[in-house]
Amino acid sequence: MGTRRMHIIIETDEVTIIRRHCARRTWCLECAREVELIGMDEAGALVGMTQRAVRDCAETRGWHLSDPGDGTQLVCLTSLLKTK
């Protein structure tokens, strides 16, 4: 009797849902187009980091940060998702 082999293939997909009320649509200077910007909390949740880690890693990972002038810091969703 010959040896029998069984191959199991598991495919996975990931779905990320971003609520519209969390994002602001505005101009990203680095993308040179209108994009959605999200807060540091939302960005951290998407990449599995703390707000501080997101801020620290932004430059090395190519994420575009924006300061709208109200004391908050926002992340360009387009740049974040490109490197995720």
The ranges assigned to domains in the chain are 20-83
CB atoms within 10 A of CB 47: 17
Backbone angles phi, psi at 48, to 5 degrees: 70, 40
What is the structure's pLDDT at 1?
A: 65
Q: What is the mean pLDDT of residues 55-65?
A: 90
Reply yes or no on whether the pLDDT at 31 is more than 90: yes
Segment 41-52 mean pLDDT: 89
Give the CATH fold of the 20-83 domain.
Multidrug-efflux Transporter Regulator; Chain: A; Domain 2 (1.10.1660)
Residue, of 68 and 30, whose pLDDT is higher: 30
pTM: 0.70
Distance between CA atoms of 20 and 35, rounded to whole angstroms?
Answer: 12
Which pLDDT score, from 0 to 100, does residue 20 have? 61
Q: What does DSSP say about strands 65-66 and 23-28: parallel, antiparallel, or unpaired?
A: unpaired
Residue 18: its H or E element: none
